[in-house]
């Protein structure tokens, strides 16, 4: 049944307005703390300084390189890392996960690897690949792959093999069983794995940019922190949080869309 | 001794695992000794093992490891306690839960390293910064775990408890919320521990001293064998923590299940 438009607007307003009020109060309080001198401007910038820095980020002359180039570089590195995770690691994880013995062999090794903070391997990666996009892509792919592997190996344990067995009583065509039963039943696992893998690949890329890099949003945050450009630092953090949130929401919407399509099928 | 199918499978799996590990290290050693891999960037596993033994016996880098360990433990403790408190406060009140979870999930989806400049500006001292940074990693997982458990709680249980004399909020938290959230809290704590260790290493890489900083410094000075040796020592430590936590989680779960069974009889 369709919900009337007026009611829908009312529901949205009821959900959004408290957050708008909360954030407004938060910003005003922070601004007042800075203006009254209770909190130093080196800790939190005044609201108008922050807004000014945010609006002028693309035209900031002090910045090493243009802001747009840094943003593009982060998107490029994340895209490349995501491509490795989705195109290489995910099929490999499915291949291992769907075979009982292979899964039993790899699972404890991967669980042990999962416990290791992958970021500690970054110095080794940049020793081999140099401080540039390849090392950051590798770092993103490494972090994303670990989580993808663990998730897929766990999820396929619960994959209902009886569906495949039942299908094989109706048809002998392996291709048909694969395309009509096996692949559709593991699509939800794949979608969740993609979501997890890309989210963690982003963590890897940004951490790598912060620690040792000369490009990307993470580098900008690190640069503005060390050069004490506090408003620029907060503005870049805000943009990066928005970027992370957009990636997260897009992946969630993609997951919802696929699940919806699956229900229709 | 009779060899059953189970024993056979066990031997195949463990044999494959051992072969896989030995092949990996063997191939590595072979590739370096035949100069296909440059020893300057990738040392022989045999020299790394020798160096690990030297480090373990001489106590070199022990001070750095202890620093990381202390920030990790204190941060984990602070973050878990805060997360538990926050989880109970948010999870216990429906409106607050719906309102605040947006922010908790936003922080969870954002790479925590983005907040490091803000934490540095607030805490200034490296030691306090590191504790706060680690606590942020732990806090999110514990909060989400506790809130999720309380969200799925049957409201009938709460009503029943009130009927039987849970008159004060403290009694409700002690008799209902805590046992209900305990399992979830343990699972959250394990994730928080892994995440906190990552946080401790990242914090070290950002600001000296600590094991992360040591690895970074060694990499800058091209002391490659030491880099690998320290990384392997850290990895072994992380794997041990994860193993212990899995055991504790399993034992606590078993005990709780037994208690529940006894109570229901």
Q: Would the CB atoms of A117 and B222 count as touching at under 8 Å?
A: no
pLDDT of A79 strictly over 90: yes
- Number of structural domains in chain B: 2
Residues 6+ apart with CB under 8 A from B29: B44, B45, B46
Q: Mark whether A101 and A166 lie in a shared domain.
A: yes
Q: Mark whether A66 and A29 lie in a shared domain.
A: no
What share of chain B in percent tops pLDDT 70?
95
Q: Mark whether B228 and B150 lie in a shared domain.
A: yes
- Number of structural domains in chain A: 2
pLDDT of A265 strictly over 70: no
Task: Among A105, A210, A233, select the one facing B20 at the smallest CB separation.
Answer: A105
Q: Mark whether A26 and A143 lie in a shared domain.
A: no
Q: Mark whether A40 and A74 lie in a shared domain.
A: no
Q: Mark whether B31 and B117 lie in a shared domain.
A: no
Residues 6+ apart with CB under 8 A from A52: A231
ipTM exceeding 0.85, yes/no: no
pLDDT of residue B129: 92
Q: What angle do CA B7, B11, B13 make, to 5 degrees?
A: 115
Q: Mark whether A99 and A149 lie in a shared domain.
A: yes
Q: How far is CA A6 from CA A3, A12, A239, B61, in A?
A: 9, 10, 33, 66
Q: Mark whether B136 and B254 lie in a shared domain.
A: yes
Q: Mark whether B83 and B155 lie in a shared domain.
A: yes
pLDDT of residue B260: 64
Q: Mark whether A61 and A12 lie in a shared domain.
A: no
- Has residue A51 been placed in a domain? no
Q: Mark whether B30 and B89 lie in a shared domain.
A: no
Q: Mark whether B115 and B37 lie in a shared domain.
A: no
pLDDT of B31 strictly over 70: yes
Contacts of A53 in chain B (CB under 8 A): none
Q: Mark whether B238 and B155 lie in a shared domain.
A: yes
Q: Mark whether B34 and B74 lie in a shared domain.
A: no
Q: Mark whether A205 and A80 lie in a shared domain.
A: yes
Domain at A168, CATH number = 1.10.3720.10
Q: Mark whether B156 and B125 lie in a shared domain.
A: yes
Q: Mark whether A28 and A118 lie in a shared domain.
A: no
pLDDT of residue A159: 67
b or e along B190-212 (b: 16 or more beta carbons within 10 Å of the residue's beta carbon)?
Answer: bbbbbbbbbbbbbbbbbbebbbb
Task: Among B114, B198, B228, select the one facing A240 at the smallest CB separation.
Answer: B114
User: CA of B231: which chain A residue's CA is closest?
Assistant: A120
Q: Would the CB atoms of A245 and B106 count as touching at under 8 Å?
A: yes
Residues of chain A numbered 159-178 and touching chain B (CB < 8 Å): none
Contacts of A109 in chain B (CB under 8 A): 17, 20-21
Contacts of B109 in chain A (CB under 8 A): 199, 244-245, 248
Tokens (6 digits) for B25: 């290290």
Q: Which residue range(s) make up the domain with A116?
A: 57-264
Domain at B121, CATH number = 1.10.3720.10
- Has residue A49 been placed in a domain? no
pLDDT of residue B1: 52
Q: Which residue has tokens 């906190």?
A: B196
The residue of B72, B106, B205, B211 whose CB has the most chain A CBs within 10 angstroms, and thus the best one to mutate to test that interface, is: B205
Tokens (6 digits) for A129: 């690949």
Q: Mark whether A36 and A149 lie in a shared domain.
A: no
At B12, is the pLDDT very low, low, confident or very high (cuts 50, 70, 90)? confident
Is residue A50 within 8 Å of A231, Cβ to Cβ?
yes
pLDDT of residue A172: 65
Contacts of A211 in chain B (CB under 8 A): 202, 205-206, 216
Q: Mark whether A73 and A32 lie in a shared domain.
A: no
- Has residue A253 been placed in a domain? yes
- The terminus-to-terminus CA distance of chain A in angstroms comes to 22
Q: Mark whether B22 and B132 lie in a shared domain.
A: no
Q: Mark whether B111 and B40 lie in a shared domain.
A: no
pLDDT of residue B237: 87
Q: Which residue range(s) make up the domain with B32?
A: 5-51
Q: What angle do CA A229, A234, A236 make, to 5 degrees?
A: 95
DSSP string, B34-52: TTSS-TTTS--HHHHHHHH
The residue of B117, B210, B241 whose CB has the most chain A CBs within 10 angstroms, and thus the best one to mutate to test that interface, is: B117
Tell whether A37 lies on the interface with B, counting CB pairs under 8 A.
no
Closest Cα partner for A230 from A46, A57, A19?
Answer: A46
Is residue A41 within 8 Å of B121, Cβ to Cβ?
no
Residues 6+ apart with CB under 8 A from A198: A78, A82, A85, A86, A144, A247, A251
Is residue A220 within 8 Å of A151, Cβ to Cβ?
no
Virtual torsion, Cα B161, B165, B169, B173, nearest 10 deg: -50
Q: Mark whether A38 and A140 lie in a shared domain.
A: no
Q: Would the CB atoms of B117 and A44 count as touching at under 8 Å?
A: no
pLDDT of residue A165: 73
pLDDT tens track for A4-62: 788 888 888 888 898 899 999 998 999 999 899 888 888 889 888 999 999 988 888 88
């Amino acid at each position: 049944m369709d919900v009337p438009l007026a009611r829908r607007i009312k529901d949205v307003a009821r959900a959004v307005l408290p957050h708008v009020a909360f954030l407004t109060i938060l910003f005003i309080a922070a601004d007042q703390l800075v203006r009254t001198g209770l909190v130093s401007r080196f800790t939190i910038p005044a609201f108008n300084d922050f807004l000014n820095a945010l609006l002028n980020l693309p035209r900031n002359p002090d910045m090493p390189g243009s802001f747009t180039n840094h943003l593009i570089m982060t998107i490029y590195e994340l895209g490349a890392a995501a491509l490795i995770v989705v195109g290489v690691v995910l099929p490999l994880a499915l291949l291992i996960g769907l075979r009982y013995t292979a899964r039993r062999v790899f699972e404890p090794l991967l669980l042990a690897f999962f416990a290791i903070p992958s970021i500690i391997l970054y110095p080794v990666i940049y020793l081999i690949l140099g401080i540039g996009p390849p090392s950051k892509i590798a770092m993103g792919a490494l972090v994303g792959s670990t989580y993808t592997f663990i998730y897929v190996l766990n999820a396929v344990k619960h994959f209902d093999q009886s569906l495949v067995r039942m299908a094989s009583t109706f048809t002998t065509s392996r291709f048909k069983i694969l395309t009509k039963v096996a692949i559709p039943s593991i699509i939800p696992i794949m979608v969740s794995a993609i979501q997890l893998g890309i989210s963690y690949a982003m963590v890897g890329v940004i951490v790598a940019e912060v620690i040792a890099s000369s490009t990307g949003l993470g580098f900008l945050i690190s640069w503005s922190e060390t050069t004490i450009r506090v408003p620029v630092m907060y503005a870049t953090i805000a943009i990066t949080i928005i970027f992370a949130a957009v990636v997260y929401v897009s992946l969630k919407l993609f997951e919802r869309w696929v699940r919806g399509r699956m229900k229709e099928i | 001794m009779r060899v059953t199918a189970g024993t056979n499978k066990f031997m195949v799996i463990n044999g494959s695992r051992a072969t896989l590990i030995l092949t990996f290290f063997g191939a590595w050693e072979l590739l370096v000794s035949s100069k296909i891999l440059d020893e300057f960037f990738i040392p022989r596993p045999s020299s790394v093992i020798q160096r690990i033994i030297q480090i373990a016996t001489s106590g070199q880098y022990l001070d750095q490891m202890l620093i990381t360990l202390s920030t990790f433990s204190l941060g984990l403790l602070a973050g878990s306690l805060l997360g538990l408190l926050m989880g109970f406060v948010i999870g216990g009140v429906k409106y607050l839960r719906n309102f605040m979870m947006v922010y908790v999930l936003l922080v969870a989806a954002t790479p925590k390293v983005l907040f490091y400049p803000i934490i540095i500006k607030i805490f200034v001292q490296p030691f306090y910064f590191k504790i706060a940074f680690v606590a942020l990693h732990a806090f999110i997982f514990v909060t989400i775990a506790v809130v999720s458990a309380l969200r799925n709680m049957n409201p009938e249980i709460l009503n029943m408890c009130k009927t039987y004399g849970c008159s004060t909020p403290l009694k409700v938290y002690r008799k209902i919320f805590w046992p209900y959230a305990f399992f979830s809290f343990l699972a959250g704590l394990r994730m928080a521990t892994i995440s906190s260790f990552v946080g401790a290493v990242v914090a070290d890489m950002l600001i000296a001293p600590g094991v992360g900083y040591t690895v970074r410094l060694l990499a800058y000075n091209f002391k490659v064998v030491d880099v690998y040796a320290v990384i392997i020592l850290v990895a072994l430590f992380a794997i041990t923590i994860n193993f212990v936590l899995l055991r504790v989680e399993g034992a606590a779960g078993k005990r709780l299940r037994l208690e529940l069974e006894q109570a229901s009889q």
